[in-house]
């Protein structure tokens, strides 16, 4: 009873996407209920990483960015990411980046908004943006070694993505 364009528009709205996948026939056909079974079986610290993944502005990230987002040591974070991958709640690409299926990312964002305080959400995003700013500054240093001055707004401490040559800096 709706046009294909209307359906595509509804699916494009991440906040309503999971609602569209509820067949209305109980927990076995409610996508949130099904995803919650996997989420609720996670250890608390792994569940926190899952939630924070929902705050990522893009589809994927490397362990430096996720370490900043989660305020977690990389070794500990990798164990949590491995647990999420074993539970099929996260995928690791061959180039070392991590990503969630779109529906998992939408669910993680919903859970993050429900469980994490607004202050915790802002802090996580700020740490991530700080990592991106430090990485951009490191890339600038590689690409333009003669211009070493950085803006005051770039935080000096925290994880930085790997920038070792001009190829990785671009």
The whole-number average pLDDT for the span 98-127 is 95
Predicted local confidence at residue 153, as pLDDT: 64
Task: Give pTM, 2 decimals.
Answer: 0.79
Cα–Cα nearest to 50, from 24, 22, 72, 27 = 72
Q: What is the DSSP letter of 41?
A: T
For 11-32, what is each residue's pLDDT tens digit? 666 666 666 656 666 666 678 8
What is the spatial distance between Cα 143 and Cα 12, in angstroms, rounded to a whole number? 37
Please tell me which of 20-24, 123-127, 130-134 the model is most confident about, judged by mean pLDDT.
Answer: 123-127
Higher pLDDT, 141 or 101: 101
* β-bridge mates for residue 32, sequence order: none
On whether the CB atoms of residues 142 and 48 are closer than 8 A, the answer is no
* Those residues with Cβ within 8 angstroms of residue 29's Cβ, 6 or more apart along the chain or in another chain: 22, 23
Is the per-residue pLDDT at 151 higher than 90? no
Predicted local confidence at residue 52, as pLDDT: 98
Which segments of the chain are extended strands (E)? 60-61, 91-92, 98-99
For 37-96, what is each residue's pLDDT tens digit? 999 999 999 999 999 999 999 989 999 999 999 999 999 999 999 999 999 999 999 988
Residues in the chain: 170
Reported confidence tier of residue 154, pLDDT bands at 50, 70, 90:
low
């Amino acid at each position: 009873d709706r046009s294909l364009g209307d359906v595509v528009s509804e699916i494009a709205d991440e906040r309503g996407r999971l609602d569209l996948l509820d067949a209305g026939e109980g927990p076995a056909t409610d996508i949130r209920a099904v995803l919650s079974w996997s989420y609720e079986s996670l250890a608390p610290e792994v569940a926190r990483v899952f939630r924070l993944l929902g705050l990522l502005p893009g589809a994927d990230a490397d362990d430096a960015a996720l370490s900043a987002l989660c305020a977690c040591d990389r070794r500990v974070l990798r164990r949590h990411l491995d647990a999420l991958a074993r539970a099929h709640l996260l995928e690791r690409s061959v180039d070392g980046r991590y990503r969630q299926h779109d529906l998992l990312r939408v669910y993680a964002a919903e859970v993050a908004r429900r469980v994490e305080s607004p202050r915790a959400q802002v802090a996580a995003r700020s740490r991530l943006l700080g990592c991106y700013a430090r990485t951009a500054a490191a890339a600038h240093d590689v690409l333009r070694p003669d211009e070493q001055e950085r803006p005051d707004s770039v935080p000096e401490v925290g994880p930085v993505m790997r920038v070792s040559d001009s190829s990785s800096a671009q």
